[in-house]
Amino acid sequence: MSDVPQDLVRLDGVCRVFGEEPDRVVAVDDVTLSFGVGELICLQGASGSGKSTLLNLVAGLDLPDSGTVTVDEELVSAMSEDHRADLRLRRVGVVFQDDNLVRELTALENVSLPLLARGLSSREARELSRAALERVGVAAVGARHPDQMSGGQRQRVGIARGLVGDRSILVADEPTGALDSANSADLFALLRELCDNAGAAVLVATHDPLAHDYATRTVTVRDGRMVES
Ligand SMILES: Nc1ncnc2c1ncn2[C@@H]1O[C@H](COP(=O)(O)OP(=O)(O)OP(=O)(O)O)[C@@H](O)[C@H]1O
């Protein structure tokens, strides 16, 4: 056994192609990328360059046509849909530009959802969710519904929901897309802090130039290929 920590997430020679000729699109073209605990990786690139497709592959929301995706030594690219959904509950949280919170539920109830889906008791779920909200600096909004929070608070609740229950991998697609620059900087600072102090590994797709200041690495994607890192 090696003492070297394994990368939590690995993509090896990953390709994802949509459609048929003449409309065939190579959305992800032979991408090899890996990262681990403490790393905040930013994917930048023009609209349509393949960033969201890459995130979906890491989260097991989509499967590659070739190559492999490994999360925590588990081969995501060979898993059934049910197994991939289970992996998201246990290991990989997902955050989108639109916070995707359930409007009818409070912040605390939203964060509890993945825990209840995993079979935890409502009491355990509530306790862990409270701690997660506190961890991301929004303990005070636990009893509020999404329309009673600011955009920045909603995104923090989304991050709490993504990481609650010992999940350490977070995949975030344009998480600051709806935020002003002060709130965007705060959100990137939070993601950086979760990487530094809470064992998180974060992959963010973003057009936001601020991201670079907080990233461990910035990877540029062009026409589905990684062109620099
Ligand atoms: N489900 C799909 N069916 C067909 N084509 C798709 C599908 N998903 C993505 N594509 C195509 O794959 C390419 C990459 O799209 P993707 O959404 O990954 O880019 P992106 O870099 O995330 O763009 P944006 O910054 O606008 O979100 C685009 O040409 C897109 O039209």
pLDDT tens figures, 32-72 = 999 999 999 999 999 999 999 999 999 999 999 999 999 99
* Number of the ligand 1 atom closest to the C-alpha atom of 54: 18
pLDDT value for 111 = 97
Query: 144 CA to middle of ligand 1, Å?
Result: 34
Name which residue sits closest to atom 26 of ligand 1, judged by CA. Answer: 47
Is there a contact between 14 and 28 (Cβ–Cβ < 8 Å)? yes
Q: Atom 30 in ligand 1: which residue has the minimum CA distance?
A: 48
What local confidence, expressed as pLDDT, does residue 166 receive?
86
Residue of the CA atom closest to atom 17 of ligand 1: 52
The pTM score is 0.94
Confidence of residue 226 (pLDDT cuts 50, 70, 90): very high
What is the tens place of the pLDDT at every residue in 125-184?
999 999 999 999 999 999 999 999 999 999 999 999 999 998 999 999 999 998 999 999
Share of the chain above pLDDT 70, in %: 97
Alpha helices of the chain — where are they, by DSSP H?
51-58, 81-90, 107-117, 122-135, 151-163, 181-197
Q: Is this complex's ipTM strictly greater than 0.95?
A: yes
Pocket of ligand 1 (CB under 6 A): 18-19, 25, 27, 45, 47-53, 205
